[in-house]
Every structure is written in structure tokens, then in C-alpha cells.
Chains A and B, each alone.
Chain A
Amino acid sequence: MTDSKIPEGPLAEKWNNYKAKAKLVNPANRKKLNIIVVGTGLAGASCAASLAEQGYNIQSFCFQDSARRAHSVAAQGGVNAAKNYKNDGDSTYRMFYDTIKGGDFRSREANVYRLAECSAALIDHAVAQGVPFAREYAGYLNNRSFGGVQVSRTFYARGQTGQQLLLGAYQGLLRQVSLGKVTMHTRHEMLELVVIDGKAKGIIARNLETGELERHIADAVVLASGGYGKVYYLSTLAMGCNSSAIWRAHKKGAYMAGVSWIQFHPTSLPQHGENQSKLTLMSESLRNDGRIWVPKAAADDRNPNTIPEEERDYYLERKYPSFGNLAPRDISSRAAKEQIDAGHGVGPMKNAIYLDFSDAIKTQGKDNIEAKYSNLFAMYEKITGINAYKEPMLISPSAHFTMGGLWVDYELMTTIPGLFALGEANFADHGANRLGANSLLQACVDGYFIAPYTIPNYLAGELNAPKNTIAHPAFDEAEKAVRAQLDKFLNSKGTLSTDHFHKKIGRLLYEKCGLSRSKEKLEEALDEIKLLKTSFEKDLLITGDDTLNSELEKAGRIADYIELAALMCHDALQREESCGAHFREEYQTPDGEAVRNDADFCYVSAWEWKGAAQKPELHKEPLVFESVELAVRSYK
């Protein structure tokens, strides 16, 4: 079942070989084929627009009030591409290598190479769409360097790169709406996947304005519904981000992979109180000029500006001299946790570290720092009330990006034929840790450049397949299951709100399946999740009715999060090694660095759902490295 379908040939030729042989659909036949795309972020919007341009009929779904709101909008720092515009040694191979090393050798060579290979075309396309990337005075595109690499390959649009790329994709999508090739369903949430004769053929969606359940049928279904970092409740994600589309597909037979590989972003704002709903991300680009430090003495609560230089510990510069403040995210986040746990944390809750711009302001001048980061400094002041030109920022690691997701093969198809997963919803390219500015890239490359080859390759075989209707019993059954769950929530006679359970599951995961994990804590977590599930089933209280009701929407998402949390713990427990974002306390060097175990764990863990009462079943997809040597990932 976990055949990755990697094409033949040398690494650099694999994608060309695939494209040369992929099946095509005659232009006249494309209009007979329908595709459902769930999600309108960069992956979903770009895939929907690109397939519509080819002539397929697209039904596009998002839970937000407009396709433009999807959470890709929030990515600040940039998007990587191996253009080598800075002439500083970049190449497709270099980018491939950085990404596979950054992922701690837990991703597929062929996928990662393709990501690097398609990166340049993305920049070309985004510029053609009108994305206003940063420019040099001569008019050429500007680049900066970003966490975890030593070349400047990051393209950016101030601190709003995600928003600008998404507007490009959104406008491309709405252009296809105007041409009649895409039908938009905003404020709709997918609540079930419909599988007919083993193939994905449709979805049940709930109209969030009216509460009506709708049946939608297609020849293929694409899930581009994003990541599930919001399972931690406090995270950098939008409030509505959720795992429901992929989780419900998982329960219908699609495997989940790398489930516990969650990236904690090192530069988010720390928690300040119990009623907080999110942790705002401050772009990692700040680490280009900010220096990270904590007081050398534990529990030092002096004003940071009065702490003399020799009493500060610039621990990233000390521990990782060749990368310093630009060490990759997993390393930086874990190092921060180490300092906080050892009592060096700062701020009112002692849960933060300093990100200090005073040296940069001294050497470059306040004007230059302002030109680069003014929107970030302004945002910081709005939230905290602190002027970061005068005082160091308080930052802290926060749940951010899910490397895990639905298992997909080289064609981005899940274990259910006809069901594709794109962008953060799949597990594919980042291994156990994602490099900064690679997520926008992956979402775009999946949607603009990969799915437009691989989905037609699948659809070519569906052209003459028997056509079904929404009266098929599989639709009846799926709708009945959704209706039953909604009724159960509405009739629940408890006293606790959805947020209560969401906060509980989040706190539990932060403590036991977060920046570091251990057998003991993971086993405890699995027991606690069971109890939480029982409590959720009897103590939940939903007010309002089955029409427009945000509490009812949340209930379904929490139910899925509780089950997903258990799978995350199973995944983390089974993987007895430390790799990337997955740090098992039992597997570390004496100085606290991760110890990977290539002899026993050089595979992708793909999990199969076996029912609520059963343990999930593990399937291993061996990772074969033909072009790179497995190396210890050192940033020292």
C-alpha cells in the first residue's frame, strides 16, 4: 500500500521522466471531468486555478467567508527558490541538499529534488501574476537569507509574502470563477469523504451559513486543507485551522504519516495569560539582525537594558557558531526551551527569551532596521505595548507547522485512489523539520506544478469509468454519519464548552508531545487522552441550533483533534530516535543534541486507522538514499 511510485532514472531526471510518460486527457474530454478541491490556500487555490485553466470543472471549498482568507495569508518571511540571483553558490542540488538535511534525512530524495527543481518557475509565475516582491534599485528581484541555509535564496514581499502570494493565487482562482470553470463554495466545511468502489468520489459539506448538508460528486478529490498545529490550541495558526478534512479521510482509509512531527516556531510571542487564544508569530527574518540571549544568572528579573554584556548568554551563537542566530527552527526552539526550563526564561511568566536589535540598530542605524521590519515592530508593539527599538523583544517557541499529514506517493495521491493531498495537508517534502520559507514554496509547487500533471494522469483512467450520482448509497451512508454526529453534539447535556476541551488537549500535547517527548510522558498522554475523550462525549455543551453556529463547527473539529492527538502520541512513542522536530529525551548526546537512529528508523511511518477501539496499524515506507550520504546534522 505504501508504494511511493518514485520514477526511474537519476535523481535530476526523475520528474522529467514522469512528465514525459504521464497520461494526458484530450482537451475536448476535460470538460467532462469534475474535481473537488477542499481549501483555498496556496495549495488549493493554485491547484484549482491551474486545473481549471486546463479545462476541468472545479468545485472549490473553504470554511472562511472568502477564498482570500486562507491561512497561507499569514506567512511573513518569504519563499525559497534556487534562482541563484545572488551568485552565491546556490543551485537546484544545493537547495535539495539543504532541504533534505534540514529535514534530518527523513524525507524522500525524489520529492525534495522536485521541490527544488520547480522552485524557480514559481517565482516566474508569481511575478507574472503581479506579486510585488522586494526589488533592488536597478529593478531586479531582491533576496535574503533565511534560517538554516548559507545562501540568499529567499524572495519576499516585506513581511507579507504569504498574503501577496495568496492574493496572486486567489485572483487566478477568481479569474476561473468568472470564466465559469470554478464554482466557489465559501463558508462550507467538508465533513465526510465519499468513497465508491474504493475510489474517492465526493464529499459531504456543511453550509456554515444555513447548516444544510450538501452532497458533491466528482471524479477526483483534492484535500489542500492545511496543517493541524491548532491541535495545540495555543499556536501561530488561525482559529479556524483544523484537521477535520484530512482526519475524516484518514478514517475512510487514507494513511497518515509523520504525524508527530510538529514544528515549533522559535520566534513567536510568549503566552501572557489563561484567556489567550493564539500566539502571534514574529517572522523568522528578524533573526537576520536580532541577537538571541538570556541572562546568565537564572531568575534574573532586571530590566534587560541594564544587564551588562558579560552577564548575557547568547546561547545560539555560543553553541552553534557557524549558524548562530540563524540555526534551523527545531534547534533554535529546543535551545530556547532548554534555557527556559533551566530557569533563564524572562518576561512576566518567565517563559520567554530576548531577541535584541540594539547591536543592529547601532551598526546599521534605526532607519535601516525600520525599513526592513517596521510592520513587525509595529505589530509587536500593538500586542505587547513594548517598543522593540528600545527594549529587546520577548519571544518564545510556539506550535506552528505540521510536517506530518496524509501519506502521499510521488503523485501526491493518498492510499485512497483518486484522493490527493497537497501542501501542508500532506507529509511529503519536509521530513522531520521544515526549513524557513519552504512551506509557501511547497504549497505553490504542489498546486501549480505537480498536481496539474499527476491528477490528469489519474483522471485519464476515469474518463470511461461508470458515472455515479449523489443518490448512490455511499452518499446516503456518509450523510447519515455526519447528521448523527451533529445531532449527538446538539443533544449533549454537559456543562463544558468546546474551548474547554480544546485548551485541555492543547496543554496536554505541549507538555507530553511537544518540543521534547519521552516514553513515560507519551504513555501518560495516551491514558489522559482516553479520559478526555470520555469526558468530551458526555460533558460537552453546545448552545444554539443546527443553523449558523460557530460552537457546533468547533465541536466536530475538537472531536477529530482528540483522536488525532492519540495518533500523534502513538507515532512519537513508536519512533525510538530523535530526528528533526521529534526529540525523544532518551535519545540524545551528553550535550543534549539529537541522536538519530538510521539503522532502525530510516523509514516513513504511515498509520492506518483501525477503528476507535483499536490501535492504529503501522506501515513502513523505507527511505532509500541514492544521492546523499546520511550525515549527522550538525550546525555547530
Chain B
Amino acid sequence: MTRVFTLALVVLALTITGCTRVQYGDATATETVTVDFGSTDLQMIATSMVDDLMSFPPVVQLTLDRRPVVFVDRVQNRTVEHIDTESVTDSIRTRLIQSGKFRFVDMTVVDRVRQQMDFQTQSGMVDPATAVSMGRQIGAEFMLYGALTSIVKRDNRTKDVYYKFTLNMMNLETGIIEWSSEREIRKTQSRSLFGR
């Protein structure tokens, strides 16, 4: 009887203590939990796009003695997953700014900027000498835009996903696409025969 009781206690203790464990990991480590779009894909795309852009001869020429102003339009999500494509373009933009070759304007905060400017010029609470003046922002010269598409094949045992990320840089004045690049990713997952 005592033995049964002890055994039950041990089992109980094991279940309670075996619950959760938190640990820090490497943010750039390869993540292969599922074939769905993940952090590794995002980083691969961002790095390869930026490397490609920075080493493209006309772009090297262009950024030799000036830092062109660019704005990021959007990357269309044409996959079968809900992917935050803005996060991909954010990474690309951050890397490009870090390189010191480009400058960016951000279209997503225009409303809030306008609000602040209105406050500075119209509320009467801000010293006019320190208020920013209207109409002095710099217009973007280039636009970055693209699309993320996928092809998914699935049967009972395997799931195969192919992603293609395309990014273009257009000269807004001439309408010429100055640079374009694509990155392909292919992942396959098989179900195991035995498991939990």
C-alpha cells in the first residue's frame, strides 16, 4: 500500500515539475519547426536582397557620392499563409540604412507627422522659431516594391513549399526599374511514421 502511494506521489511530482521550461536561443539560428514561412526565411531574404542591391554595379555607381532617398511601397502577399510582409521590408530597410548608402522616407507615419506639424504651427503652444516649417521634406527618388508568392504541394506524407520573393527598385521620375532581384526558397517536410 505504501509503495503504491509513494509511486503515485513520484508520478505527481514528475508531472508538476515537468511543465514549462524557458530558455534563450540564438535569433539567427536555423529554425525548422514547420515548413511555414519562418524567421530563417525572413533573414535569408533580407540579407540576400540587400547584398544583391549593394553589389549591383549601377547601384554602386549611383551611391558613390550621394545617398539617394527611397521609400518602401509594399510587398504583396500572394501565398496561402498570413505573412507579415511589412516585417520583411522593415528588415531590408533597416539593413540598407545601416549600410549608409541610402536614406528613406516612411509613408506609414505620414498621418502622425502631419498631426504633429499641425500642432506645432496651429496650436499656438509652440515657439514659432523652433517649429518645423512645412513643405521642406525631401521627395523620394526611388520606390521599392515586390511580391511574395508560393506554390504548395501536399499529400498524406509530405508537404513541399516553394517561396519566391521578388523585389524591384523603380526610379519614380523615369519609371525605369533600376534594379530587381528574386530569392527562391524550397522546403519539404515529411510526417514521421511513429510519434507522440
The answer to whether A and B come from one shared complex is no
